[in-house]
C-alpha cells in the first residue's frame, strides 16, 4: 500500500502551517498530562472461579490467572480430572481438589472465563513471557517445587498448560524470574531455602545451579525477608537484585557482583514476607536508554512477622526510594507515600506515571498476617518535584490483600483481581473472605472528557514479510487524532505478576524519527526500535501513542533478533 510506504520516506520532523498538510514535532516529553484525577471502578465479574494469585497478559488479549491446587474447592467445578476420570457429584469428589479448576483464561473482549488444567501445584511460583508470547512458569509447592510449565496462547479455545519433562535443579518456592537478553533464556533466582540461581534453558548441559552469597547475607532467619527478590535487567546487561534492604548489580554470566549499592534507609524490610514492591522507571531513547533508575516502595516494619503471629499488626512502611543504578555514584532518594502500604502492585502507565494499587496498611504477608486494607490507589508522577509527586485516587470497596494482583490492559484500564488471606477458599466467618470478584480501574486520563486528545485507530506496520522489527530497525505507526499536541511513543513489556512483584515489567520511550500529518487528522510516524536486547528483551510489547499526556488504545509490537 503506497501511503504506508510513505512512512519510510519522511526524513525529519517539521512544523508547518500549510493549508493542506500539517507537520508537528515528535516530543520526548508529554506536557499537559492529566493524571491526577480520581478514576473509576467497574465490576466485571462476580466470580472468576479462582483467586488470581498469579496473573499475566497475552498478546491475544487474554489474561491467564491461576491459584494453588491445594486450596481445595475453587469457584469452578470441572467435569473431569487431569487423568481423564469423571468428577462425580457425590461423595469425596465434591471435596476433591482435582475436580476443581485452579487456572483460568479471561477474555478481555468477551468478559468471559475458560477453565485451564494444572497438573502440579504452582503455589507462590514465578514466571516470564518468551519472545513468541508463550508464558513460562517455574516452580511452586510440593509436587510443583521443580516443575516448568508453558502456556502458549492461541485464537482457538483449546490452549492449555503443558508441563515440561525438564525439571529445575532446586526447589523454587517464592523465587523470582527475569527474562534475559539471550533469546528465550530465563534466570530463576532464590526461593525458600534456595540461596542460588539457575537458568532455563541451561547455558551448558553440565550446569545445575550457582550459589549466590548475597541471598545468604540478606536472610534474617525469622521471617526470611529475602524471598521473591526484586529483579531488573539493566541496559548494560547486568541484573539489579534487591532482597530485604540490600541490593547489588550482578553479572550473571560471570557469577560476579559488579557493584554493591547502599542499603535503603529506614527500619523494616521490603522483600517477602515484608512485601514492598519495585519498578524500573521508564527508559528513554534521549539518553540512549542508559539512564536506569529503580524505585522501591513500602514494606513491613521490623518485627512485623513475629508480631503478626501474635495477633499484632504493625504499621507498614510509607517510604519509597529511588536510585540511579548506572553511573559512578549511587544514593537512595527517599520520599513518603500518602500512607503506609505493603503488598501493593506497582504498574507503569503509558504516560509514564506509576500506579500503586491493592495491599494493606498493617502487618505483613502470609495467612491472616495483615489488617487494614489499602483501598485508595496512589498515582505517582516521577517528573514532578518532590512533595508533589503523589496523588490519591478513588477508593474501591473491595479489599485486595494477600494474593491479590493487578495488570495493565491494552485499552488503558487496570485489571484488579484476587485476594485470599485464608489458607483455604473461605467465604464466611472471617474478617476478609476469599475474593473472586474481578474489577477494572480506569485512570482519569482514560476518561471520555479527553476524547479529543486521545489518539485513535492506531496501526503498526513492519517491512514487507516481517513478523516484527529487529533491534535498531524502523517501523511505522499510523493513527488519527482530533486535537494534536506533543506526542510520544511508549513500548511496554507486560509482566508476570504475583505477590506484588511485576516480573519483567519495563517501559521504553521510543525515538520518533519523523512524523507526517494531514489536515484530516491522520498521522504517519516512523519509529526506531530499541538498540539491543539488553534494553528490551525480544518479545511482544504494547505500543502506545501518547498525545499531550493522553494515551490511546495500545497495539502489539514485536521486537525480534534480526
Q: What is the mean pLDDT of residues 20-43?
A: 52
Segment 373-396, tens digit of pLDDT = 999 999 999 999 999 999 999 999
The verdict on residue 15 lying in a domain is yes
Distance CA 352, CA 387 (A): 18
The verdict on residue 498 lying in a domain is yes
Q: Can you give the pLDDT at residue 440? A: 98
Structural contact between residues 55 and 65, judged by C-beta atoms closer than 8 angstroms:
yes
Distance CA 281, CA 276 (A): 16
Q: Can you give the pLDDT at residue 37? A: 55
> Residue 476 sits in a domain of what CATH number?
2.60.40.10
Segment 329-354, tens digit of pLDDT = 999 999 999 999 999 999 999 999 99
Geometric angle at alpha carbon 404, from 399 and 409, rounded to 5°: 105
Q: What is the mean pLDDT of residues 98-112?
A: 94
> 508 vs 45, 143, 391, 475, CA distance in Å?
32, 38, 24, 15
Distance CA 256, CA 419 (A): 38
Q: Can you give the pLDDT at residue 19? A: 25
User: Higher-confidence residue: 23 or 294?
Assistant: 294
Distance CA 255, CA 332 (A): 25
Q: Of 446, 468, 452, 477, which Cα lies nearest the Cα of 545? A: 477
Distance CA 394, CA 39 (A): 6
The verdict on residue 79 lying in a domain is no
The verdict on residue 464 lying in a domain is yes
The verdict on residue 497 lying in a domain is yes
User: Higher-confidence residue: 263 or 70?
Assistant: 263
The verdict on residue 218 lying in a domain is no
Q: Can you give the pLDDT at residue 25? A: 39
Q: Can you give the pLDDT at residue 97? A: 81
As for how many domains the chain has, the answer is 1
User: Higher-confidence residue: 265 or 21?
Assistant: 265
Q: Of 188, 153, 152, which Cα lies nearest the Cα of 167? A: 188
Q: What is the mean pLDDT of residues 425-441?
A: 96
Whether pLDDT at 301 is above 90: yes
DSSP 20: S
The verdict on residue 315 lying in a domain is no
Segment 225-261, tens digit of pLDDT = 999 999 999 999 999 999 999 999 999 999 999 999 9
Whether pLDDT at 158 is above 90: no
Give the range of the structural domain holding residue 459, as residue numbers without chain letter: 2-32+451-560
What percent of the chain is modeled with pLDDT above 70?
93
The verdict on residue 239 lying in a domain is no
Instruction: Tell me the whole-structure pTM to 2 decimals.
Output: 0.93
Average pLDDT score, the chain = 91
User: Higher-confidence residue: 466 or 151?
Assistant: 151
Q: What is the largest CA-CA distance in the chain?
A: 79
Distance CA 51, CA 103 (A): 9
What percent of the chain is modeled with pLDDT above 90?
82
Segment 189-222, tens digit of pLDDT = 999 999 999 999 998 888 899 999 999 999 998 7
Amino acid at each position: 500500500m503506497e501511503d504506508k510506504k510513505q512512512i519510510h520516506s519522511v526524513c525529519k520532523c517539521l512544523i508547518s502551517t500549510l493549508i493542506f498538510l500539517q507537520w508537528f514535532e515528535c516530543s520526548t516529553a508529554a506536557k499537559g498530562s492529566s493524571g491526577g484525577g480520581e478514576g473509576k471502578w467497574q465490576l466485571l465479574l462476580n466470580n472468576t472461579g479462582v483467586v488470581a494469585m498469579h496473573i499475566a497478559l497475552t498478546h491475544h488479549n487474554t489474561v491467564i490467572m491461576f491459584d494453588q491446587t491445594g486450596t481445595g474447592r475453587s469457584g469452578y467445578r470441572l467435569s473431569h480430572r487431569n487423568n481423564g476420570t469423571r468428577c462425580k457429584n457425590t461423595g469425596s469428589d465434591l471435596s476433591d481438589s482435582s475436580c476443581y479448576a485452579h487456572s483460568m483464561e479471561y477474555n478481555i473482549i468477551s468478559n468471559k472465563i475458560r477453565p485451564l488444567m494444572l497438573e502440579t501445584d504452582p503455589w507462590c511460583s514465578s514466571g516470564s513471557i518468551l519472545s513468541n508470547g508463550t508464558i513460562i512458569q517455574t516452580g511452586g509447592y510440593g509436587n510443583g517445587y521443580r516443575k516448568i510449565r508453558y502456556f502458549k496462547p492461541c485464537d482457538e479455545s483449546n490452549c492449555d498448560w503443558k508441563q515440561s519433562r525438564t525439571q529445575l535443579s532446586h526447589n523454587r518456592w517464592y523465587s523470582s524470574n527475569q527474562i534475559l537478553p539471550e533469546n528465550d533464556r530465563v534466570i530463576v533466582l532464590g526461593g525458600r531455602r534456595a540461596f542460588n540461581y539457575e537458568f532455563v534453558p541451561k547455558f551448558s548441559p553440565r550446569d545445575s545451579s550457582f550459589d549466590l552469597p548475597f541471598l545468604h547475607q540478606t536472610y534474617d532467619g525469622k521471617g526470611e525477608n529475602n524471598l521473591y527478590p526484586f529483579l531488573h535487567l539493566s541496559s548494560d546487561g547486568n541484573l539489579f537484585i534487591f532482597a530485604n534492604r540490600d541490593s547489588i548489580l550482578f553479572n550473571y554470566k560471570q557469577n560476579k557482583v559488579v557493584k554493591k549499592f547502599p542499603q535503603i534507609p529506614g527500619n523494616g524490610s521490603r522483600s517477602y514476607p515484608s512485601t514492598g514492591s519495585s519498578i524500573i522507571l521508564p527508559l528513554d531513547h534521549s539518553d540512549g536508554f542508559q539512564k536506569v533508575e529503580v524505585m522501591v516502595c513500602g514494606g513491613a516494619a521490623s518485627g512485623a512477622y513475629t508480631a503478626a503471629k501474635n495477633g499484632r499488626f504493625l504499621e507498614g512502611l510509607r517510604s519509597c526510594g529511588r536510585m540511579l543504578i548506572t553511573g559512578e555514584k549511587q544514593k537512595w532518594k527517599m520520599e513518603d507515600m500518602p500512607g503506609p502500604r505493603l503488598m501493593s502492585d506497582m504498574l507503569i502507565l503509558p504516560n509514564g506515571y506509576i500506579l500503586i494499587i491493592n495491599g494493606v496498611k498493617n502487618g505483613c504477608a502470609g495467612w491472616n498476617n495483615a489488617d487494614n486494607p489499602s483501598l485508595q490507589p496512589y498515582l505517582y508522577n516521577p517528573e514532578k518535584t518532590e512533595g508533589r509527586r503523589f496523588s490519591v485516587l478513588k477508593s474501591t470497596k473491595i479489599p485486595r490483600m494477600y494474593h491479590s494482583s493487578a495488570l495493565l490492559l491494552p485499552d488503558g484500564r487496570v485489571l484488579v483481581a484476587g485476594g485470599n488471606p485464608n489458607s483455604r477458599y473461605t467465604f464466611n466467618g472471617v474478617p476478609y473472605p476469599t475474593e473472586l470478584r474481578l474489577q477494572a480501574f480506569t485512570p482519569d486520563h482514560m476518561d471520555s472528557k479527553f476524547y479529543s486528545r486521545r489518539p485513535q485507530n492506531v496501526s503498526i506496520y513492519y517491512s514487507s514479510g516481517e513478523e516484527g522489527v529487529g533491534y535498531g530497525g524502523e517501523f511505522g505507526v499510523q493513527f488519527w487524532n482530533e486535537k494534536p499536541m506533543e506526542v510520544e511513543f511508549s513500548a511496554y513489556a507486560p509482566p508476570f505478576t504475583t505477590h506484588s512483584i511485576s516480573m519483567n515489567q519495563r517501559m521504553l520511550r521510543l525515538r520518533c524519527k519523523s512524523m507526517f500529518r494531514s489536515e484530516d487528522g491522520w498521522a504517519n510516524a516512523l519509529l526506531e526500535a530499541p538498540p539491543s536486547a539488553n534494553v528490551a528483551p525480544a518479545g511482544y510489547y504494547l505500543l502506545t501513542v501518547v498525545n499531550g499526556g493522553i494515551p490511546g488504545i495500545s497495539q502489539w509490537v514485536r521486537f525480534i533478533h534480526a
